[in-house]
Structures are given as structure tokens and as C-alpha cells.
Amino acid sequence: MRLSSSSSKPRMRPTCRRRKPETGFALMSRPRNRSDAYQHPQRRQRLRQAWKESHGNWLLGFAAAIFVAGMFIIWTQPESQDETSLELLPVSEGSAGRPSLPENVLIVRVSTSRTNATGPIRIAIYDSKESFGNSDRAVLKDSLIPVNGFVAWEIDLGMLPEKFAIAAYHDLDDNGVLNRALFNAPVEPYGFSNNARSIVGPPTYEETIVSRPTESKEMEIRVY
């Protein structure tokens, strides 16, 4: 009887297969390739230069926008002042609610778009381009509380220069200054003689100039 040797026993095969390397892990473990721009110094330099130029153009455009908006507010509205020091007089009302016209006076009548507001309407009169917008150099300035959205002043013609301009604004919160918002744009109603208005910035002195009348006259200004 032949005995079988131990070497003749069938070999045991493993039941679990060897795991192959995960392709995803192998890809993730590889170092990422740099772009051509980083492999070539000259191309990288050109990209940096292009970014600097576009960044500079953007900054110039932003500065230009601020400059244009700033031109809109390069002027000072009339400020409050002790009314007892002024010789402007509130106009007397006629029987129909309209100002009567005494001799040798200019009636300045100002209407506001904010008829329900109680703050005063302030005006200032200027006699030169150099003083225009500077309330400290105004020939006359005063303020009155509007009634039904209107105020009116009676000014003796002898007090007025031959050529002058008037600026007015409605001081809604009665703080003595013209309130402003973004880019210092006015947020309270304002206006000028001749009802001059400009798309960018205030109107020029030449656009607001009026001549002193030779006889009693009424002038109307709308602030909005």
C-alpha cells in the first residue's frame, strides 16, 4: 500500500483575491501638473502685466466716477443765520392769498415739493461768480417756515446788486445744513433762480444770474 507523501496534497488557494491599487487613489497621489504659464517665466510675466493693466484701468474708472459725482456737490448751500441781522421782510399776503406788490420791491416766492414738511426754507443771494455757493459771502440770506408749501420774501430793490443769483433749499430737519447721501448728493429739496438745473453738479453762476428789476416784480423758485 503506497502512502502518499505530504508534498502531494492539493495546495490551498486563497479565497480572497489581492486588491489591485485603486486607480483613483493613485491619481490623487500624483503631483498636479502646473499650467504652461507657470512652467514658462515669460508667459507668467505677461499674465502678471496684463492683470496689472486691467486692474489699473478699473481703478481709473472708479476714480472718474467719484470725480463726476463730486462735481455734483461742489457748492455750499446757504446756512442758518440770525434773522434779526437781516433786512429781508416776509411778504404781506393779498386778499387772494397771493403776495401784494408794493413799490420798488422784488417778491421772491419759493415752493417746495415737500409740502407736509415743517422745516424752514433757506435762501441766499450772491453777486459774483467767486462768491456763488459760499454762504459766508452771500449778499443776503434768510429762512422762513413754509405755509402750504410756500414762502415769500419782500426785498427792497435798493438792497439788490445789478446782477445776482439766488440759491434755496428746504431744510427738512432744521439742522442748518443741506443733508447729503452717497457721493455727497443732496437729499433735501433745492433750487436756484431761473429754476436752473444741471444733470451733473450744480448749475453755473451764469445760468442762475438775473438782473435787478426796474420796478416791482415777483420771482418764483421751485425746490425739489
pLDDT tens by residue, 34-58 = 555 455 667 767 767 766 666 666 6
Higher pLDDT, 212 or 68: 212
- Domain boundaries defined on the chain: 83-223
Q: Which residue has the higher pLDDT, 125 or 36?
A: 125
- pLDDT single digits (tens) 19-33: 555 544 444 445 455
How far apart are the C-alpha atoms of 79 and 109, rounded to whole Å? 19
For residue 12, pLDDT over 60 is answered with no
Q: Per-residue pLDDT for 131 more than 90?
A: yes
C-alpha–C-alpha distance, residues 144 and 173, integer Å: 13
Evaluate the CA torsion angle 158, 161, 162, 163 in order and state its sign.
negative
Q: Are 191 and 223 in contact (CB under 8 A)?
A: yes
Between CA 69 and CA 72, with CA 71 as vertex, the angle to 5 degrees is 70
Q: How confident is the model at residue 201 (pLDDT cuts 50, 70, 90)?
A: confident
* pLDDT in the model for residue 84: 35
Q: In this structure, which topology does domain 83-223 adopt according to CATH? A: Immunoglobulin-like (2.60.40)
Q: What is the pLDDT of residue 1?
A: 44
Q: Report the 3 state secondary structure along the chain.
A: CCCCCHHHCCCCCCCCCCCCCCHHHHHHHCCCCCCHHHHCHHHHHHHHHHHHHHHHHHHHHHHHHHHHHHHCCCCCCCCCCCHHHCCCEECCECCCCCECCCCCEEEEEEEECCCCCCCCEEEEEECCCCCCCCHHHCCEEEEECCECCEEEEEEEHHHCCCEEEEEEEECCCCCCCCCECHHHCECCCEEEHHHCCCCCCCCCHHHHCEECCCCCEEEEEEEC
pLDDT of 207 strictly over 90: yes
The average pLDDT across 114-119 equals 92
The 10s digit of each residue's pLDDT in 73-116 is 444 444 444 443 344 555 555 444 554 689 999 999 999 999 99
Per-residue pLDDT, averaged over 9-19, amounts to: 51
For residue 162, the model assigns a pLDDT of 97
Residue 43 vs residue 195, higher pLDDT: 195
Name which residue leads in pLDDT, 200 or 98.
200
